[in-house]
Structure 1
Amino acid sequence: MSVNLSGKVALVTGASRGIGYFTALELAKAGAHVVACARTVGGLEDLDDAIRAVGGSATLVPFDLADMNAIDALGASIFERWGKLDILVANAGVLGVISPIGHIEAKVFEKVMTINVTATWRLIRSVDPLLTRSEAGRAVILSSAAAHRCRPFWGAYSASKAAVEALARTWAGETQSTALRVTSVDPGATRTAMRAQAVPGEDPETLPHPSEVAKAMMPLLAPDYTETGKLFIVRENKLVGYQMPG
């Protein structure tokens, strides 16, 4: 399905590689101006070149999501330049370590929670007023099957993604009477650097490319998408609804 996002402003975190990179590119192809955030300047510059090659435009914002003041300033800057935000894709995250809970170092656990949970909350707080100013605000929060499976040794990451889903569902409930639609997406096993870190012996060629996940998510960012508070799983390049409790 073709999505027309001409005139829209889209913010993507973790945009220098993987799912974030290709989602930013798909948004640009659809006509949106992309505000691309990541720590890696080189990756953002590569993205900018790719976006320009397809006739799109982007604003690059290199910063670390651990910098909460920078997240606050980002929302203010978007307001000053555009007065609103139409799309948020909160993609950035870290794995931490695959380890028994009792063996995780405090600084590692705290980093996972800071980047995956606290920064996501801070980002929501920063851009919520901007998204509700849009006539069709759309937010996709990237989750993971780890939030539900809670497999041994994945404690920090699983807890962080469960918290992120709770934030997304709560936000969706609080904004359901507005034009903002909030969705959680579990991209499934994907050919990314994080997946390689988590499962080092896996053949990446057996996994879907992140560009396929990006294309599958695009309908959730369209102005005519109407549902809110749902979790979708990407399987075989398609969105499958997941029934969450109560």
Structure 2
Amino acid sequence: MTLSGKSAVVTGAGQGLGKAIALSMAQASADIVACDIQTDTLTDLTDQIHALGRECMAVPVDVSDRPGVDQMFADAADRFGAIHILVNNAAIVPTAPAEETRRNLHYAYLTTPIERRSLGITTSLTDEDWLKWWDVNVHGVFYCTRAALRYMESQRYGRIINIASVAGISAASAHSPGYSAAKAAVASLTKTVALDVAGANILVNAIACGAVLTPPFQAYLDKATPEQKNSLYQQIPLGRLGTPEEYASLAVYLAGDNHYLVGQIISPNGGAVI
């Protein structure tokens, strides 16, 4: 697999899955536009990409800021001459203490023989709990997609990979209804945009990730009790979380030219959702 001669915009590239995707695409010979709101994380990534012999343009931007997104793509096009690949990875995930409490409640309910009842998750949510997911996880995906398409449509070539989640195609994240709804919106947007632009040789697909061993998930595991960890692993037939590199390899494949995939939601999840 080679992405030689291609430029790839990767949002949320500073750490975790986004960083793994950016590095994997650089290893496949793509030049990288690395976007993240956490600016301090981009320095190390830039150094690693340069060490691979590829160019890296680090851009500190919040993807929910539409003018900032448009400027990033204009600068990237000036730098590399074209935008070939977009990976919409930037997202916020359920890591707040209240969200971890709901997660543990949900996992225990699924894996232990306790009385069936309402978990009270939906009614416990505030307006803020619901609304916080949309600016980055949905609006940011749309802003970046629209900006990228303005370049891809004229050149009649492009690859867009949206990072969705099993949360958006199942009840696997019932502990976080707002996050699940936002990721379902990403899956739906993937399909409608794919149909819109496939005739211009722009292939849009999504990766509906299962559990990924990113720093936030590792932080959760570090605090979890043995029982809470077992409740998680019992839901995954493979018995472990996926590594960022395993997901990144699929992103590299979808960014290439040797496939016939349009508007597909592909879910590597260790068998958690079959």
Do the aligned partners of 1:85 and 1:131 also contact (CA within 8 Å) in 2?
yes
Give the match's secondary structure for 1:73: helix
Matched, 1:92 2:113: no
Do the aligned partners of 1:10 and 1:86 also contact (CA within 8 Å) in 2?
yes
Give the CA deviation at 1:192: 1.0
Give the CA deviation at 1:163: 0.4
Overall identity of the aligned pairs, in %: 29
Give the CA deviation at 1:198: 6.5
Unaligned runs of 5+ in 2: 103-120, 234-238
1:132 is matched with which residue? 153
How many equivalent pairs are there? 236
Q: Counterpart amino acid of 1:107?
A: E
Q: Counterpart amino acid of 1:75?
A: F
Give the CA deviation at 1:80: 3.2
Unaligned runs of 5+ in 1: 237-241
Q: Distance in 2 between matches of 1:126 and 1:198?
A: 35
1:147 is matched with which residue? 168
1:27 is matched with which residue? 25
RMSD: 2.4
Give the CA deviation at 1:25: 0.4
2:112 is matched with which residue? none
Matched, 1:122 2:143: yes
Which of 155, 162, 172 is the equivalent residue of 2:184? 162
Give the CA deviation at 1:161: 0.3
Do the aligned partners of 1:143 and 1:161 also contact (CA within 8 Å) in 2?
yes
Do the aligned partners of 1:90 and 1:140 also contact (CA within 8 Å) in 2?
yes
Task: Indicate the larger mover: 176-185 or 196-205.
Answer: 196-205
Q: Distance in 2 between matches of 1:58 and 1:225?
A: 26
Q: Distance in 2 between matches of 1:82 and 1:58?
A: 10
Do the aligned partners of 1:44 and 1:60 also contact (CA within 8 Å) in 2?
yes
2:117 is matched with which residue? none
1:72 is matched with which residue? 70
Give the CA deviation at 1:53: 1.8
Q: Which has the larger radius of gyration?
A: 2
Give the match's secondary structure for 2:83: coil
1:223 is matched with which residue? 257
* Deviation readout 1:52-106 (Å, 9 max, x if unpaired): 2222220000122232220122222233333421001101111245352333332
Q: Distance in 1 between matches of 2:44 and 2:125?
A: 35
Q: Counterpart amino acid of 2:143?
A: R
Residues 155 and 198 from structure 1, CA distance in 2 versus in 1: closer, same or farther, beyond 3 angstroms? farther
Q: Counterpart amino acid of 2:197?
A: T
TM-score by length of 2: 0.78
Do the aligned partners of 2:242 and 2:269 also contact (CA within 8 Å) in 1?
no
Do the aligned partners of 1:136 and 1:223 also contact (CA within 8 Å) in 2?
no
Q: Distance in 1 between matches of 2:160 and 2:175?
A: 30
Give the CA deviation at 1:167: 0.8
2:107 is matched with which residue? none
Which of 128, 142, 165 is the equivalent residue of 1:107? 128
Which structure carries more helix by proportion? Answer: 2
Give the CA deviation at 1:197: 6.3
TM-score by length of 1: 0.87
